[in-house]
Amino acid sequence: MDLENELRQAMADHVTEVSAPETLAADARRRHHRTVRRRTAFAVGAAGVIVAAGMIPAYHTIRPQTVGADGPDGRRHGQQTTRTLSASPTPSVDARSGSPGAGSKGSHPAGRPKRPSGAQDPGLGAVRALLTYLPHGLTAKPCTSTHTGAKETKTCRWSGSGGWIEVRLIRDGGLKNPSDLGLAPPVAKAFRVHGHPGLRTDGPAVPSQIMWIERHGLGVWVGVSPSLGGSMTRIAEGVNVT
């Protein structure tokens, strides 16, 4: 029994000698707890930064906008609404937009394009008003305009079961006499319309026609079908040239 007790005492003394002091173990535990707290604080801070960075696009994407007119103080008064903007807007380029070049005073509006040769006049109201006398059974057709150099010719026509009527308004700065129109056949004879000198040709060899210069630079030509030759004078006198 004494030998056993001595062995146990020897072993206890040996363990006591090689064991770390209690202060060292406590210091190790404190260092471990401090490391764990630092890691936890770092993880929480990093998560906060990530969340804040993700909220910035959302703030710009959804934000209140003011609807209304600007007040005298430059602020916009009116109802606030929430407008959702596209997260990735697609830039659009207007091919027609552009800034004036150096020394330019700005863009100038494009001139009105000229009506192409043979184009139809859109309105029939002016066509109907062109004749104050229209035989029964005739209806107006769309007018057409043609350009030959400086000359512009507007042609209007009426047709139906009773025949046809055609009126040409010819604008050219060089028109002074009926012969300047270049439409009179050799058998034409002198005639007066609206008090102006003119030329007249009666059928049946050629369509009945009358032409005259209404005013300087404006000539008028009127032609009718043979069936309306008897009404030729009344039709020509009824042309309302403005």
Asked whether residue 233 falls in the same domain as residue 139, the answer is: yes
Determine, yes or no, domain membership for 152.
yes
Whether 138 has a pLDDT exceeding 70, the answer reads: yes
Type of residue found at 2: D
Domain enclosing residue 186, as ranges:
119-237
Asked whether residue 123 falls in the same domain as residue 231, the answer is: yes
Q: Determine the pLDDT at residue 52.
A: 65
- Does this model's pTM top 0.85? My answer is no
Determine, yes or no, domain membership for 55.
yes
Determine, yes or no, domain membership for 77.
no
Asked whether residue 155 falls in the same domain as residue 217, the answer is: yes
Determine, yes or no, domain membership for 4.
no
Determine, yes or no, domain membership for 242.
no
Which residues pair with residue 220 across a beta bridge? 169, 212
Determine, yes or no, domain membership for 212.
yes
Tell me the pLDDT of the chain averaged across its residues: 72
Q: pLDDT tens, 85-122?
A: 444 444 444 434 444 444 444 444 444 444 444 444 43
Asked whether residue 229 falls in the same domain as residue 137, the answer is: yes
Q: Determine the pLDDT at residue 94.
A: 44
**What confidence category does residue 30 fall into, taking pLDDT thresholds of 50, 70 and 90?**
confident
Q: Determine the pLDDT at residue 117.
A: 42
What is the torsion angle, in degrees rounded to the nearest 10, for the CA atoms of residue 51, residue 55, residue 57 and residue 63?
Answer: 180
Whether 18 has a pLDDT exceeding 80, the answer reads: no
Determine, yes or no, domain membership for 177.
yes
**What confidence category does residue 49 fall into, taking pLDDT thresholds of 50, 70 and 90?**
low
Asked whether residue 130 falls in the same domain as residue 216, the answer is: yes
Asked whether residue 129 falls in the same domain as residue 59, the answer is: no
Please count the structural domains in the chain.
Answer: 2
Asked whether residue 164 falls in the same domain as residue 233, the answer is: yes
CA dist., res. 180 & res. 201, Å (int)? 16
Asked whether residue 54 falls in the same domain as residue 141, the answer is: no
Asked whether residue 129 falls in the same domain as residue 60, the answer is: no
| Better pLDDT: 133 or 29 | 133
Asked whether residue 160 falls in the same domain as residue 230, the answer is: yes
Q: CB of 138 within 8 A of CB of 165? A: yes
| Better pLDDT: 20 or 148 | 148
**What confidence category does residue 145 fall into, taking pLDDT thresholds of 50, 70 and 90?**
very high
Taking CA atoms, 230 is separated from 29, 69, 138, in Å, by: 130, 70, 16
In the chain, pLDDT over 90 holds for what percent of residues?
32
Asked whether residue 138 falls in the same domain as residue 230, the answer is: yes
CATH code for the domain of 208: 3.40.1000.20
Asked whether residue 225 falls in the same domain as residue 142, the answer is: yes
Determine, yes or no, domain membership for 12.
no
